[in-house]
Amino acid sequence: MLWLRSIIYYLTVILASLFVGAVWGSVSGLVLACALLALSASFHLYNLGRLYRWVCHPRVDNVPTSFLLWQEVFDRLYTQVRAQQKNQDKLSNTLERFTSAGEALPDGVIILDEHDRIEWCNHAATLHLGIDRLSDIWQVVTNIVRQPALREYLRTQDFAHPQIIRTTRPAEQVLSVQLVPFDSTRKLLLSRDITQLDRVQMVHRDFIANVSHELRTPLTVVGGFAETMMDMPEMEEKTRVQQLHLMVEQTQRMQRLVDDLLTLSRLENGQQLKEEEVDVPQLIRLLQAEAEGLSQGRHQIAVEEIAPARLIGNHDELHSALGNLVSNAIRYTPAGGTIGLSWRLEQGLPVFAVRDSGIGVSPEHIPRLTERFYRVDRGRSRATGGTGLGLAIVKHILQRHQAQLAVKSRLGEGSEFAARFPEHRLLVD
């Protein structure tokens, strides 16, 4: 051991001094012994000073070197410092990997101390809650995120359930936040952006409400007339025929609604597209004939342009989508108006367009036209026999063909609905 070697070292120095003193005489031996002891003390003080200077500025690459016992001390010191440096590097690498993993998370992560002060947060948390990682560190989180719901959630310490908060800074979004304790004082505040999920749930709720509303009216009409006929078996023939006619109309309306719902469901299920060669010029003529039958002479319907081009796609789906655009133009164009169909090439891209001189659409309504059951004028839509699902079906069919729907419209001046198909679906004669 080191202490045993030190004792042996000093005993050797003392015995050597005594031996020299016995040989040289008492005075000379005493002087020589003192000199040896002074030299030994100087050696130790010198190395002790070097050790002190290293302790003031410790580095693994500047551990002192010496000889005898001090070399062994410095060797052991170097070994311990080197092991400590390795442990420190390992901890630093672990912390760096943890930080990198936290930064890569799509969810926000905030480390809070026992007083709900922010110790650290990742980049997602700054986007979710508007936290500045330079100025907001060690600030109470509720002083930065001023949400009464969050303040109450932190006060109650309800770790079992998340809290939903709605923020407008830095952007309008819906967040799910949850507390997770990870030691005796600290806890994690996790945030997740559920804005899109909330919108989907809202659309689902609106969809159920709209379907119920759309079905309630015709069911009420049919049920009311049926009860009237049961209560009045000797009803006048004219009244009976009129009521039966209305019942048939409402039944057909419900049938169209169910058919459109089934079509939309099939399209949204993502079934594989059965592709074939579609003779679009022939389809345009078929759409013109169907439009004339629907209009019954109330509109002037013309084919303005037909390019000699065909498409690769599904004939039945394209017939349904383009037919919806044509029927909408007829429904929303007053009698005496004009409807124009065209199949043209624009900068090498095939475009089917329907132009009308109808009532038009205000700019604020155009982005929402393809939403299910969205109507600019509900009363007029029901009067024209629409189900509110036509443009939603058009959007899904065009998406399956990698096409886009472009709408140009001005209130009172008519509209143009154009389906733009990609170049790889074009077949030119």
144/26 same-domain check = no
Decide: 315 and 278 in contact? Cβ < 8 Å. Answer: yes
187/87 same-domain check = no
Question: Which are the contacts of 314, defined by CB distance < 8 A and separation ≥ 6?
Answer: 273, 274, 275, 276, 278, 400, 401
The CA distance from 177 to 121, in Å, is 14
246/378 same-domain check = no
Domain boundary among 211, 244, 268: 268
CATH number at residue 249: 1.10.287.130
Q: Quote the number of domains for the chain.
A: 4
Decide: 397 and 321 in contact? Cβ < 8 Å. Answer: yes
359/253 same-domain check = no
Mean of all residue pLDDT scores within the chain = 81
Q: What are phi and psi for residue 45, nearest 5 degrees?
A: -65, -40
51/184 same-domain check = no
11/90 same-domain check = yes
Q: What is the pTM of this model?
A: 0.53
303/375 same-domain check = yes
The structure tokens listed for 113 are 């101390």
88/122 same-domain check = no
82/123 same-domain check = no
CATH number at residue 381: 3.30.565.10
Domain boundary among 268, 289, 313: 268
Question: Which are the contacts of 27, defined by CB distance < 8 A and separation ≥ 6?
Answer: none
397/318 same-domain check = yes
| Per-residue pLDDT tens digits for 53-88 | 888 888 777 878 877 777 777 788 888 888 888 888
| Residue 370: pLDDT over 80 | yes
Question: Which are the contacts of 262, defined by CB distance < 8 A and separation ≥ 6?
Answer: none
| Per-residue model confidence (pLDDT) at position 145 | 87
Domain of 234 in residue numbering reads as 201-268
| Per-residue pLDDT tens digits for 180-222 | 888 888 889 999 998 888 877 776 776 666 666 667 777 777 7
76/210 same-domain check = no
59/140 same-domain check = no
